[in-house]
Amino acid sequence: MTGLLTGTVTFLFTDIEGSTELLKRLGKHYGDALAAHRRILRATVRDHGGEEVDTQGDSFLFAFPRAEEAAAAAVDGQRALAAHDWPAGTRLLVRMGIHTAEPTVSDEGYYGLGLHRAARIMAAAHGGQVLLSLATSSILEDATLPGATLHDLGEHWLKDLDRPEHIYQLDVAGLRTAFPPPGGVQRVRTAQPATADGTDELLERSEALSTLADSLAAVAETARGQLVLASGEAGVGKTALLRRFCDDHRQSARILWGACDPLFTPRPLGPLLDVAELVGGELAGVVQQGGKPHAVATALMQELGSRETTILVLDDLHWADEATLDVVALVGRRIDAVPALAVLSYRDDELERRHPLRILLGALATARSARRLEIGALTREAISRLAEPHGVDAGELFQKTGGNPFFATEALAAQEAELPHTVREAVLARAARLTPHAAALLEAVAVAPPHVPL
């Protein structure tokens, strides 16, 4: 192959996301969509001085002499693809990866680890997303990118490569900027609960993270707020999941976090005090003065409407005081008026029939902007992944913990024949909150076989 660029080259890999499903959906029209996709990308690359190196199916490899032109081609390409009128009302989403390297050139084309790194970066992207390597982003830091900015996603281990890559996202004005974490890679960071094999993966939580990311993307695209009601039993990992979600999207949204505490006398407006301390201003004044729920809700709505995109997390609402619940009711029913994703987490196994939060949830669940996110226990397979590095019988661990991530990780950390004190205390604390009749039933079941018909 002759005429290839030599020296420092910036590669742009592209690929249609979900092409097989798209083929099934479009049928005979898929060929037209594929041809239009090729025309758009080839024209865009040509306009920015790039060269087509290879094409296979719905994938392209382009080469550019300058990183700025590769980035500009990616930006214009995504805009042109988003604006195109695709058949049957579908959306054709293309993922893109960019890396700058000094490849070796042969008669067959380019080869070298730089080319593989570019391909792996593209494979980690989602449809409509442009990911860049540290090498490319370093060049672009001093470049002018009209309508686009760099967004740091942190370091990730890419498949089959011997060192992590610092990945950046190219945010394109007017297009989607909130995506799930890069796919098929492992983030470089400290360990998190309910993980296995020394990775940072939250086991069996990718679907929940994607649901939250989709909600955030909808908020960013429409400037209309959404409400997510995240529920699960104690220890199932609601807080860990939400902290991971916030960590993954900290660069694209403002994070406001408030938590309720397990107090006999709950703090009035407890989680909203946390939020007010973060933002200050009118909200802080109203909350600190013990304002009425309507005044607090009004100040909070004004604060949420003052920024482009905000993630508001109110954690452990089953411990909230009634004033907090009143504010949540007022804001939850009006959340679509502000560009914010409000996530309310609570223990659904601790809400008795007349619990104030249960009544509030019933009212919020009918809102058009609300969706439920149920976070369940881990499966036997996930518990096996947790147990394997410790040489623990996975079946026994699953039977003892019921797949509860907190119970499982505490039991593994203790390395005891019996359940550790932390787990026993957590169970006893939950039992202490039962009604007398429920406590009597629990005592009877405790001495019965594992499965008791009720």
pLDDT tens profile 164-177:
888 999 999 888 88
pLDDT at residue 192, rounded to an integer: 42
Do the domain assignments include residue 195?
Answer: no
| pLDDT tens readout for residues 77-109 | 999 999 999 987 788 999 999 999 988 888 888
pLDDT at residue 193, rounded to an integer: 45
Structure tokens at 30: 């898929």
Do the domain assignments include residue 190?
Answer: no
pLDDT at residue 332, rounded to an integer: 93
Paired with 106 in beta bridges are: 109
- Only one residue has tokens 């995506």, namely 179
Average per-residue pLDDT for the chain: 85
pLDDT of 405 over the 90 cut: no
434: containing domain: 380-446
How many residues are recorded in the chain? 454
pLDDT at residue 154, rounded to an integer: 83
Q: Are residues 131 and 37 in the same domain?
A: yes
Do the domain assignments include residue 17?
Answer: yes
Helix (H) or strand (E) segment spanning residue 2: none
pLDDT of 313 over the 50 cut: yes
Q: Are residues 312 and 337 in the same domain?
A: yes
Q: Which residues contact 168 (CB under 8 A, 6 or more apart)?
A: 131, 132, 133, 134, 136, 137, 150, 151, 152, 153
Q: Which residues contact 223 (CB under 8 A, 6 or more apart)?
A: 308, 339
Domain boundary among the residues 372, 393, 424 is at 372
Q: Are residues 17 and 165 in the same domain?
A: yes
pLDDT of 301 over the 60 cut: yes
pLDDT at residue 448, rounded to an integer: 54
Do the domain assignments include residue 2?
Answer: no
Q: Give the span between the Cα atoms of 416 and 400, in whole angstroms.
A: 13
Q: Are residues 212 and 126 in the same domain?
A: no
pLDDT of 199 over the 50 cut: no
Mean of pLDDT values over 277-304: 90
pLDDT at residue 11, rounded to an integer: 96
Domain boundary among the residues 342, 372, 402 is at 372
Structure tokens at 148: 């686009």
Q: Give the span between the Cα atoms of 309 and 367, in whole angstroms.
A: 20
Mean of pLDDT values over 268-277: 89
Query: Hey, what's the torsion of the CAs at 292, 277, 311, 136, to 10 degrees?
Result: 160
pLDDT of 388 over the 50 cut: yes
What CATH number corresponds to the domain at position 211? Answer: 3.40.50.300
Q: Are residues 254 and 159 in the same domain?
A: no
Q: Are residues 262 and 132 in the same domain?
A: no
pLDDT at residue 93, rounded to an integer: 93
Q: Are residues 344 and 411 in the same domain?
A: no
Structure tokens at 285: 């004044």
| Helices of type H across 130-266 | 134-140, 206-222, 238-248
278 CB burial (10 A radius; 0-12, 13-18, 19+): middle
Strands 165-172 and 130-132: antiparallel
Do the domain assignments include residue 453?
Answer: no
DSSP 8-state code for residue 190: -
Mean of pLDDT values over 243-261: 89
pLDDT at residue 252, rounded to an integer: 85
DSSP 8-state code for residue 444: H
Please give the residue that has the higher pLDDT: either 39 or 431: 39
| pLDDT tens readout for residues 345-365 | 999 887 887 899 998 998 888
pLDDT of 434 over the 80 cut: no
Q: Are residues 218 and 366 in the same domain?
A: yes
What CATH number corresponds to the domain at position 136? Answer: 3.30.70.1230
Domain boundary among the residues 346, 372, 398 is at 372
Q: Are residues 335 and 428 in the same domain?
A: no
Read off the pLDDT band of 191 (50, 70, 90).
Answer: very low
- Only one residue has tokens 């009118």, namely 282
**180, 150 in Cβ contact below 8 A?**
no
Question: How many folded domains does the chain comprise?
Answer: 3
Q: From its phi and psi, is residue 346 left (phi > 0), alpha (psi between -120 and 50) or beta?
A: beta
Q: Are residues 292 and 247 in the same domain?
A: yes
Q: Are residues 338 and 278 in the same domain?
A: yes
